[in-house]
Structure formats: C-alpha cells, structure tokens
Amino acid sequence: MERQVRVRFAPSPTGPLHIGGVRTALYNYLFARQSGGKMILRIEDTDQTRFVPGAEDYIIEALTWLGIEFDEGVHVGGPFGPYRQSDRKTLYKQYSDQLLADGWAYYAFDTPQALDAKRKEYEAQKKTFQYDCRTRGEMENSLTLSADEVKQRIERGDHYVVRFKFPEHIDITVHDLIRGEVTMNSDLLDDKVLFKSDGMPTYHLANIVDDHLMEISHVIRGEEWLPSAPLHVMLYRAFGWEETMPKFAHLPLLLKPEGNGKLSKRDGDRLGFPVFPLDWHDPQSGELSSGYREKGYLPGAVVNMLALLGWNPGTEQEIFSMEELIKAFDISHISKSGAKFNVEKSKWFNHEYMQMLSDKQIAEYLKPQLTEHGISVVEHPAQVADHGSQVTTQYVEKVCAMMKNRINFPSELWETTFYFFEAPKEYNPADLKKRWKAGMTTHMNKILEILDTVPFEHDALHKAILDDYIVANQFNMGQIMNSFRIALIGKTVGPDLLTFVMVIGKEETVNRLKKAVETIGEIEV
Ligand code: GLU
C-alpha cells in the first residue's frame, strides 16, 4: 500500500531563516499539496547553545507571509505533537538506551581536553583525528573500559556522550530521489554523538526518532545534510525501522550570483539584495539584516523566483501561481547542481507581480508616500481644495495605471510619479542647457496661446502644437517638446507628454508652463 505523504520542514531556531531554507520549506509544501499529503513544521532546538530567541516566531511569520501553510506543527498542533524537540526531551533517552543495549552505540567519557590532546597528537603527525572505527579503541569509552568502570562512572555522574558505533568495512547506500544512489564506506564515517549526559539528544538522534514517530514519508532537505544521510540510514537499520524509512531528496545549494560559493548572509549585504524573507534584528548585536518583504517584494514573486532556483518545469513558462506550482512541481526535475541566485531576475519577477496588482492595490502603496510628501488623498473631487496639496483617490489610481509598468517595487512609486503631484521645484541644468535654446520663451508662449484657444483634448493639441506649429514652421521638434517637458516636469523624463498633460489638466499645465517661462526665460542663450 502507498504510504500517505507526510513531509516536514525542520528548521533549527538559530537565527533568521535563510532563503535557501525558505526554498526547502516551499518544495516540501508543493510536494505535500500535490500528493494530498500533510506538511509539518517541527522545530529542532536540541542544541541549546545555538538557540536564538525570536527565531521560531520569525520562521512562522516568514512562511505565513509567503503562503506556505502547515497541517501540523508547533504553531497549529496536530496528532503527532509536541512538535518542538525541547518539548519532547524525555522521549529520546529510551532510544539511546535501546541502541546501547543492542550494541549499536557506546558510552564515551573522553573530556574535551583529552579530545583536544588527541587532535594535536594527530596533527603533529600530519593526520586528522576522527572518532571512528580505527580510533575508538584508543579512547576512554565503554568499548575499552570494563563494564564495572563504566557503571561506576555513570553512577557517580561523570559526563558522557553516547556515540553511534559504525560497523566496519560496509558500504552504506542512500537512495536519493534527486541524486540516485550515493554510497559511502563506513570506515570513512565518524562515530557521531547521539546523546549527552545532560539528557539532550543531538540533531541526528532526535531527527530520526521524530521522523519515525511522526511517520514522515519523504525527507526533502538541503544538500548540506547529504553527508549525514548514511548515518541516518544506519540509524533506521539499527532501530529496525528500515521498512518505513522515509525517501530522501537532497536539494542543490543556492549559489552566489558570481562564482560558485554558497549564497551567504554576507553576499546579500555586499551585493544589495536580501537573503532573508523578512527584516531581522539580531537580538545580540542589534544588527539589521534586510528582508524581501520590507524591500517591497511581493510574496508571490518570492515564491515564484525560489521555486525556479533548482527546479525547472521542463517548459518555457516562468510565471507560476502557487496553485500552478503545486500542479507542475516534480522532484525528478530538481537539478543536481547548485542554482545561481540572480538579482536581476528576482527584480524582474517582482516587476511582473506588480503588474498583476490592480490600480487600486498599487494606489494603496503610493498613498502613504504621498502623505509623506505633504499631499493628502481624498475620496471625492468636491473635497479637493487646491490642486497640488490634495488629490483624489481616482487621480492616484489613474497615475498608477499609467506608470506601473515602470516600477519593480512599491518604494519606487513616488520617485517615478512625483511630477503628477507637484510642479517642478527646479529645472535640471543639464537638460536646460541642452534643450532650452534661444527663442524658447517665444515657443512656450505660443504653446500657452494654443492651450488657451484649442479644445483641451489630446488629438486637438497634438495637431495644433506638433503639426500646425512645429512641423509646419520647420522648427526643431526635439528641442521644443523637450523644453515643454522640462517646464512641466523639471527634467526630460516621463511618459508621453500630451498624455501627461491630459492627466494633470489644463489649469495645472498652464500654471507650470507660465512659471517655467518666468523662471527660466531670463537664462535663455
Ligand atoms: N534541523 C535541521 C536544519 O536545521 C534539519 C535537517 C533535516 O531536514 O533533516 O536544517
């Protein structure tokens, strides 16, 4: 019988969740949803020395923001709880004891000093010390000490650890859904610590026990865990759980935009893009690491971008909603090699997702920026006192509709649209020098005259200004229209000028143009 799919995302709360971790959560989620399975959030906090307050809440907030939902977990409960390993603490000792009793593990009493001395001794011979089948016979453990001695040491409360006892000279094969068969010889593997005398299991023991008890069917996690997989396979064997051992899929690393290294926290700071989903204020150092959300990325864009970092749909399609990802996702299309992070591409995704928002939604982003610049937004035109300090919601939405294709992020809205809301405070000197040539005041006065006499409509103004005045008189089109633009906007940027004129209206156009003639007129050359 096919097992029910049950997958888990099992972060350790040691700091903010890196986007590589977010991608792991996402792939688990897509896989769970497409197979009608369950998605579980388990917090692996057995290493108390690395515990960071706030990290668990951060993880939950980030995944919730991205729309990655859980069926069971530390924040939603469920039938296999508790889902935080520190709350399961009392459960692990019996499993450690079972391995000891069955000869799969042994007590080791070596002090940190003794281990250090051993390391130095090996270094002196240009060798590296590893606690394994070759060296365990020279150390202080239950394999070398008498049973009585071991008993005494434990009874008097000596510190100890329980180590896994790898059988010698065997090949251990991990069947990986992405990489195929990965085989390692047990002689190369170190006898990892599973349990400590303070009563805490290590990651390896707790992870395997919990995956078993929580009936996890697939372990989808980062490539950095591949070296631990042979130990995990052996633990399933040692416990007699091989029959229900989960299937493994180790995801490729996320790489730096340049070079081949792993994408690190520092890269984000250095290259100016976030590597965390949300802003993170480090509780110890107070340092701020920036997040996608605060940078103005939309959750859909982040999900879409991450989904394609390491997985491809086998088609040209690039834009995927979460629903589409759930349908299209396929573990066999995950690449083996690392996926290079691409900053420009992530901006492109956000641009595309911004375009999918309604004008009303975009206007909501722009409104607070307007308030910041002293412009209030009112609902009805009747409330508008004087243009410039008050605009209607309808006007803001119209501006957004016209300009949204120029922005990647909501934060760019003001700098992209400000001239729809305020007259130029200054005129760009370089643009003026290039465009505002002798006689320009005369041309601008002529445009003022046309505005006064011709119906205020796009086509009528186009004919009167461009055809009947500029072209018919063989004037310099670029210079006149660009000077007109400088007069209205302050520099030579912006959308089609007459379309812009139609949006700001006749009165505002005339005012801006008159002011420009007065201010700049004198400096004409
Ligand atoms: N707690 C581990 C981590 O932080 C989980 C690894 C796994 O999924 O087995 O990545």
Final residue belonging to a domain, choices 420, 441, 469: 420
Instruction: Specify the CATH number for the domain of residue 148.
Output: 3.90.800.10
The Cβ of residue 380 has, within 10 Å, a number of other Cβ atoms equal to 9
* 225 within ligand 1 shell (Cβ under 6 A): yes
The whole-number pLDDT of residue 260 equals: 75
Q: What is the mean pLDDT of residues 496-505?
A: 96
> Can you tell me which residue has the tokens 């009392």?
90
Assign 266 a pLDDT band (cuts: 50, 70, 90).
confident
How deeply is 154 buried, as exposed, middle or buried, from its count of CB atoms within 10 A (0-12, 13-18, 19+)? Answer: middle
262 is catalytic: no
- Residues 64 and 113 placed together within one structural domain of the fold: no
C-alpha–C-alpha distance, residues 42 and 63, integer Å = 13
What DSSP element (H or E) covers 21? Answer: helix 19-34
- Structural domain contains residue 380: yes
The whole-number pLDDT of residue 284 equals: 87
Helix (H, G, I), strand (E, B) or coil at 46: coil
- Structural domain contains residue 223: no
- Residues 308 and 268 placed together within one structural domain of the fold: yes
Which of 118, 262, 265, 515 is an active site residue?
265
| Closest ligand 1 atom, residue 10 Cα | 5
pTM over 0.75: yes
The Cβ of residue 4 has, within 10 Å, a number of other Cβ atoms equal to 11
- Structural domain contains residue 241: no
The Cβ of residue 247 has, within 10 Å, a number of other Cβ atoms equal to 15
Assign 525 a pLDDT band (cuts: 50, 70, 90).
very low
- Percent residues over pLDDT 90 in the chain: 88
**Structural domains of the chain, count:** 4
* 44 within ligand 1 shell (Cβ under 6 A): yes
Centre of ligand 1 from the C-alpha of residue 202, in Å: 12
Asked if pLDDT for residue 384 goes beyond 70, the answer is no
- Residues 153 and 178 placed together within one structural domain of the fold: yes
* 47 within ligand 1 shell (Cβ under 6 A): no
* 218 within ligand 1 shell (Cβ under 6 A): no
- Percent residues over pLDDT 70 in the chain: 98
Asked if pLDDT for residue 385 goes beyond 60, the answer is no
* 105 within ligand 1 shell (Cβ under 6 A): no
Candidate of 221, 253, 262 to mutate for ligand 1, largest count of ligand atoms within 8 Å of Cβ: 221
- Residues 412 and 456 placed together within one structural domain of the fold: no
| Closest ligand 1 atom, residue 221 Cα | 8
Instruction: Specify the CATH number for the domain of residue 481.
Output: 1.10.10.350
Centre of ligand 1 from the C-alpha of residue 460, in Å: 67
Final residue belonging to a domain, choices 397, 420, 443: 420
- Structural domain contains residue 219: no
Assign 2 a pLDDT band (cuts: 50, 70, 90).
confident
Assign 158 a pLDDT band (cuts: 50, 70, 90).
very high
Candidate of 44, 209, 232 to mutate for ligand 1, largest count of ligand atoms within 8 Å of Cβ: 44
Q: What is the mean pLDDT of residues 234-257?
A: 96
Final residue belonging to a domain, choices 420, 447, 466: 420
pLDDT digits (tens, 9 = 90+) for 16-44: 999 999 999 999 999 999 999 999 999 99
- Structural domain contains residue 310: yes
Nearest to 301 by CA among 476, 90, 474, 66: 66
- Residues 194 and 156 placed together within one structural domain of the fold: yes
Check: CB of residue 5 under 8 Å from CB of residue 217: yes
- Structural domain contains residue 218: no
User: What mean pLDDT is reported for the chain?
Assistant: 94
- Structural domain contains residue 468: yes
Centre of ligand 1 from the C-alpha of residue 296, in Å: 29
- Residues 159 and 115 placed together within one structural domain of the fold: yes
Asked if pLDDT for residue 489 goes beyond 60, the answer is yes
Instruction: Specify the CATH number for the domain of residue 24.
Output: 3.40.50.620
- Residues 181 and 257 placed together within one structural domain of the fold: no
CA-to-CA dists, residue 429 to 375, 420, 496, angstroms: 27, 21, 22
Centre of ligand 1 from the C-alpha of residue 41, in Å: 11
Q: What is the mean pLDDT of residues 94-104?
A: 98
- Residues 321 and 274 placed together within one structural domain of the fold: yes
- Residues 72 and 94 placed together within one structural domain of the fold: no
- Residues 271 and 188 placed together within one structural domain of the fold: no
pLDDT digits (tens, 9 = 90+) for 430-480: 999 999 998 999 999 999 999 999 999 999 999 999 999 999 999 999 999
- Residues 104 and 202 placed together within one structural domain of the fold: yes
Centre of ligand 1 from the C-alpha of residue 10, in Å: 5
Centre of ligand 1 from the C-alpha of residue 278, in Å: 20
pLDDT digits (tens, 9 = 90+) for 175-188: 999 999 999 999 99
* 24 within ligand 1 shell (Cβ under 6 A): no
* 141 within ligand 1 shell (Cβ under 6 A): no
DSSP string, 373-396: TT-EEESSGGG--SBTTEEEHHHH
* 10 within ligand 1 shell (Cβ under 6 A): yes
Assign 387 a pLDDT band (cuts: 50, 70, 90).
low
| Closest ligand 1 atom, residue 203 Cα | 1
- Residues 48 and 92 placed together within one structural domain of the fold: no
Q: Domain containing 410: what range?
A: 357-420
